[in-house]
Structures are given as C-alpha cells and as structure tokens.
Structure 1
Amino acid sequence: MIDKNVLKKNFSRNAVNYDTYAVIQKKMAHQLLKTISFEHKDTHDSINILDIGCGTGYFTEQLARCYPNANITAVDIAPGMIEYARKKLRSKKIEFLCADIEEVEINRKYDLIVSNATFQWFNQLEQTIIKLDAMLKNSGMLAFSTFGPMTFNELHRSYKMAADKLNLVIDSLPGQKFFSCEDLLNICQRSLADTSFSYKVAGLEKYEYEYFDTVRDFLKSVKKIGANNSNCDRKTIPALIKEMIKIYETTFTEGNRIKVTYHCIFLTVEKRKTDPV
C-alpha cells in the first residue's frame, strides 16, 4: 500500500531536481508518445487529453507539441510538481489540477487519457481503470507506461542475499512491487469486461539500464526525483542496508560501475462501441 501523504511530500520537495535525474522516465515518455497510434484523430484536431501524473510537465509538453490544438488537463498529486509545471508551461493551453486521480471526480470526457511512469503509485488499480474508462469517449484511448517486476532487479537480489547472510527474515523489499505486463493486460481486460464496449488491449515491454559509480549514487538519484520508497510498511535496518550495498557493488558491476535495470511496460487500451446484433 502506497502512503499518498509521503508520496506528495517526496515529489513536491524534489520537483526542482526531477528533470535532471529522471533519465529513464524521459525515455519512457518518448516511447509512450510513439505507442499512441491515434490514427483516427488528426494531430491538429481540437481533442481533449488528460495527462495523469504530469510531474514537471515533461511529457505534457511533448503532448502539446504533438497535438497543438488539444485541450490538455494535467493532473498530479504533488503541489510542488504542479507549481513547477505551471511555471514551465505557462504559455501553453493547459489546465493544471493538483489532485489524486484515484480520489478526484472529473466530470469531463476525453479522447485520450495518458500517463507516464505513474500507474505504479496507484493503490486501487482496477477501480481506477474502470473510472478512467468512464471518462473516455466512445472512440477514445487510454495509454500508459509503468515499471515491471524486473525493475531494480539488482537491488532486490542484493537485499535478499544480504538478509540471508545476516539470517534476517524480511517481508518487504527496499523498492516498489510491480505488476508484470501479463498482470496489467489481465487487469485491464477484467476491469473492462462488464461494459457495452469492445476494447483492443496491447502491451509492449522494453529494458533500459543506468550505471553509477556507487550504490549510494544510485539511491541518491532515486531520492532526487522523489521516487524513494513510499510503502506504508517500509522499514530500515542499517546493518542490512550496509551489507546489501557491499553485495551489490561486488556482484552487479559492469566496467567498474554498478548496473541498474529498469523494466518498462507500455499499455494501450482502445475503446469501441459494440455493434448491436
């Protein structure tokens, strides 16, 4: 379970650092834009777009460039992120809303609902997909990117190895738990089963890698974008962390730098009205 209050504080206080350290999230943003095969809508049409988890507005700005006549609503849970994005994109036709998409009610229909690297922070994923579907127009599309279970694989393996070495029983990992692509496809299909619409659901997986001089540099980079552990059951055991770092730097290095894996997942859900029999 994600502690949303901790999440807000982490991202708000690190808004100024985000664009510098969010290297993988930027790559995901560009891939997500490629994934949106919105062929039935001309890029110059005045469509309505909802951007969930807009952060500093990096992906929002790409959307505004791709769809110059679009009416964009950009939502983020962190006040600091919204303030930063609003200042950066003040010349764009964008409406900013500071809110938790899982809680807020938006009485509007959208042609396109998108989200880059945000769905991993949801506590009620199925219910939220149902909610977003209700906000989609009959021929709309939901497209999002998120992280898969191999993300931070080296960190999690080092943590487990350290716990075993110290004879510690652990019931949580130092980072988020992520759904697989298959899990997400099933969740989408299950969430949308009881409607009068048909859906084309597709998934894409990619791996990205970063390299750091030390594990502490890697953990600092995660903290600098506000993405450090926001689980309600998060625990810190200094001896375990020290041993984990030692194992990580011994076991998972390439060219004298430690390796970090990012498992990136992209999903699209195209909505169509079912023809009457």
Structure 2
Amino acid sequence: MQKCDALKLFAEIKEEEHKDAKFKIVLDIGCGSGNLTKHFYENFDCEEIIAFDKNEMMIEFSRQQNKIENIRFEIANLADQSDKIRRDIKLSENADLIYSIYCLHWLKDKQNAVKNIHNLLNKGKQK
C-alpha cells in the first residue's frame, strides 16, 4: 500500500505540479528501506537526495541496497530540533522539496515536526 500510494503521489507531482522542476536538494523523511527514495531520484531531476530515518538498522540496509552517488542515507529523528537534524544529516543549505511517506503520523509532537520541516525548507521560488 505504501509503495502504491507513493507512486501515485510522485506521478501527481510530476504531471501536475513540478513536471519541469529541478531540485538541488530533496529530503526524504522516514525513508525506511530507501526503495521509494531511489524511485524518486530516478524520476525527478534532483542533484541530491538526503534520506533519513531514526532507525539505524534501516539506514544501514538502505546504504547497502541503494548505492547511488547522489543519494545519502543518514540517521536522524524529525522529533529532534531542526538544528540537530541539520547537523545529523549534514545539510549545508535548505532543501527545495521535502516529502514523507507514512511517517509523520507516528510522531507524538506533530507541531514540532511541521516547524522542523518549515525550518529545513528553502523559502525561495522553485525554478
């Protein structure tokens, strides 16, 4: 179900909203196995994807299964403060796009999560 929903979402983004968009940095929150991260990278024009999850074993699995130069898998928790997340994922500048598939509902403090996403997102116009 997750994959099916994610693929529908990616298709909608590509067809309706960002079909010609070029993303410098994309964040995938709660990336799990990294399969959807890889799919996103293969279907969108992005320089780098930083995918993160709080589960260290999933990140290790993702790194082994998805060896793509422009995708980095990092251990980080969206429940932390945005400055800590920024350090944990080695984010040098804000992301052009942030997405999460079936992750946010697990967080207890959703208000903090939304604040963190806002703080990590590029406020400039998309080209």
TM-score by length of 2: 0.79
Change in Cα spacing, 1:128 to 1:69, as seen in structure 2 (3 Å) is: closer
Once the two structures are superposed, the pairs formed by residues 71-220 of structure 1 within 5 Å of their partners are 71-103=48-80, 104-106=84-86, 107=91, 108-139=93-124
Change in Cα spacing, 1:46 to 1:29, as seen in structure 2 (3 Å) is: closer
- Structure 2 gap segments, 5+ residues each: none
Change in Cα spacing, 1:26 to 1:46, as seen in structure 2 (3 Å) is: closer
Q: Give, in whole Å, the separation in 2 of the partners of 1:30 and 1:61.
A: 12
- Structure 1 gap segments, 5+ residues each: 1-23, 142-277
Q: Give how far 1:69 is off.
A: 3.8
TM-score by length of 1: 0.39
Q: Give, in whole Å, the separation in 2 of the partners of 1:38 and 1:85.
A: 28
AA of the residue aligned to 2:122: K
Change in Cα spacing, 1:55 to 1:26, as seen in structure 2 (3 Å) is: same
Q: Give, in whole Å, the separation in 2 of the partners of 1:46 and 1:134.
A: 17
From 15, 25, 28, give the equivalent of 2:5. 28
Which structure features the higher share of strand residues?
1
Q: Give how far 1:61 is off.
A: 0.8
Q: Give, in whole Å, the separation in 2 of the partners of 1:95 and 1:119.
A: 20
Q: Give how far 1:80 is off.
A: 1.2
Q: Give, in whole Å, the separation in 1 of the partners of 2:59 and 2:34.
A: 8
Paired residues of 1:112 and 1:140 also in contact (CA < 8 A):
no
- Give per-residue Cα distances to partners, 1:227-266, cap 9 Å, x unaligned: xxxxxxxxxxxxxxxxxxxxxxxxxxxxxxxxxxxxxxxx
Q: Give how far 1:91 is off.
A: 2.7
Change in Cα spacing, 1:92 to 1:134, as seen in structure 2 (3 Å) is: same
Q: How many pairs are equivalent?
A: 116
